[in-house]
Amino acid sequence: MLLLADKVVFLTGGTEGIGFECAKVYQQAGASLCIISNDPGSISYAKSRLGSGIVEFVLADVANSDQVKNAIEQCLDVFGKIDVIHNNAGISSPSKALHDTTQLEWEMLFAVNVSGIYYTTLHGIDALKKSGGNILNTGSLVGEIGQEIHAAYTATKGAVNSLTKSMALDYAPFGIRVNAVAPAGVITPLLRSWSQQQPDPESAAEYLANIHALGYCPEGDVIADACLFLISDMARFVTGCILPVSGGAELGYKKMYSKQKQVYDL
């Protein structure tokens, strides 16, 4: 039996990286998808790769309330309902200490990573109340453990964790579950860009393998499988959970960090 048969998933940032891996897994599990991206090029790429499944693409910026509202309405016009909102869109730059972060960089990080969740909830909660659906937020391990030279980013992911728990309490009376997935390092275009911002980019790959207790940095499909569980009925009694899919990175992070003697982030 397909885990997401007859389900409609509204997925932000679903055309590359973890989001695209989620789109593939959700489609294989039987879901209809409404995928939101602000990048026309990545939308074209995703269209060519997702094949013949039921997929609607919307060009929209999650940091813009009106565009999110229009995207929700378009999804409802096409599919008639929304069962899952997966807030995956996010940015990580800049890789800087707080005092080196510009006001524009700070505001952009919060606009995408935090306000994006606010806007999808603001405009999509009524649809979820009707469907008895659920919300999944893509967080990060660093929202729990912190991260050097990435203060603004970790602040947004800490906010995602707190939002997830508060939203879970607020929407439980409606039967709406709210959870988050918290990866550590994952090989994506975003991570490759991150690696180039580090003090020693050539050592980044070795570092990313070593921080995970399981000994390697995974591809996005590892995270997508965990996301599928959280949005499916298999997790029907799970809410307010920040699920680490981290290969045990948090268990040896401080020890490994001191051995590296470099300044890196997850």
pLDDT tens profile 37-65: 999 999 999 999 997 678 999 999 999 99
Take residue 209 and report the two structure tokens written for it: 């393998």
The residue ranking higher by pLDDT, 192 or 169, is 169
197 Cα distance to chain centroid: 21
pLDDT class for 208, splitting at 50, 70, 90? confident
In a domain, 1, yes or no: no
Percent of the chain residues topping a pLDDT of 70: 86
- The residue-averaged pLDDT of 72-80 equals 97
User: Given this model, what pLDDT does residue 200 score?
Assistant: 67
In this structure, is residue 218 part of a structural domain? yes
> Using CA atoms, how far apart are residues 32 and 53, in angstroms rounded to an integer?
7
pLDDT of 79 strictly over 90: yes
The answer as to whether 80 is a domain residue is yes
Q: How high is the pLDDT of residue 198?
A: 64
**How much is the CA Rg of the chain, to the nearest whole Å?**
18
pLDDT of residue 176: 98
Cβ-proximal residues to 255 (8 Å cutoff; 6+ apart), any chain: none
Which residue of the set 26, 119, 153, 264 is catalytic? 153
Q: Higher pLDDT residue, 265 or 246?
A: 246
Residue 265 within any structural domain of the chain = no
Secondary structure of residue 149 in the 3-state scheme: coil
Which residue, among 21, 3, 4, 16, has the nearest Cα to 181 in the 3D structure?
A: 21
pLDDT digits (tens, 9 = 90+) for 104-146: 999 999 999 999 999 999 999 999 999 999 999 999 999 998 8
Contacts of 256 (CB under 8 A, 6+ apart): 210, 211
Q: Is 153 a catalytic residue?
A: yes
Range of the structural domain that residue 97 is part of: 8-260
Does 2 reside within a domain? no
Task: Give the pLDDT confidence of 232-244 residue by residue, as tens digits.
Answer: 999 999 999 999 9
| 143 vs 158: CA distance, rounded Å | 4
Region 198-207: what's the mean pLDDT?
A: 68
Residue 168 maps to which CATH number?
Answer: 3.40.50.720
Element at 181 (helix H, strand E) = strand 177-183
Domain count, the chain: 1
Kindly state whether residue 93 falls inside one of the protein's structural domains: yes
- Which neighbouring-strand residues pair with 85? 10, 135
Chain-wide mean pLDDT for the chain? 89
